[in-house]
Amino acid sequence: MRKFIYVLFVAVVALFGLTFSFRNHQRIGIDYYFGVDFEVQLPLLLFVTFALGLLVGCLATLPRVFGARRQLNKARRESRALARRGGDSS
């Protein structure tokens, strides 16, 4: 049931994104530093911005994920060592 809700949510978000891109296909001018300027369609600009934000967010969480994984592996090793010793706590 949870997977169905997730797939339904993704489908609804994709549908909104698709309809947004069809209704807002105008080009947006971007003026950047050092004379760099270009035009891009609004949906593409929003998608790239969203994707970059997602990438930065994922990269920001990597140290915490790897730290938790390292801590979990350490706890598993300690648990196995205790199980081999028979659980003696003396």
List, for residues 35-80, the tens digit of each pLDDT value. Answer: 889 899 888 888 899 999 999 999 999 999 999 999 999 999 999 9
Instruction: Give the pLDDT band of residue 89 (cuts 50, 70, 90).
Output: low
Going by the DSSP 8-state scheme, the letter that residue 90 receives in this structure is -
Q: Which own/partner pairs from 57-61 qualify as long-range (CB within 8 Å, at least 24 positions apart)? A: none
**In the predicted model, is pLDDT for residue 82 greater than 80?**
yes
Instruction: Give the pLDDT band of residue 8 (cuts 50, 70, 90).
Output: very high
C-alpha span between 45 and 38 (Å, rounded):
11
17: Cβ contacts below 8 Å, ≥ 6 apart: 43, 47
Position 64 scores a pLDDT of 95
Question: Contact at 8 Å (CB) between 27 and 37?
Answer: no
**In the predicted model, is pLDDT for residue 90 greater than 70?**
no
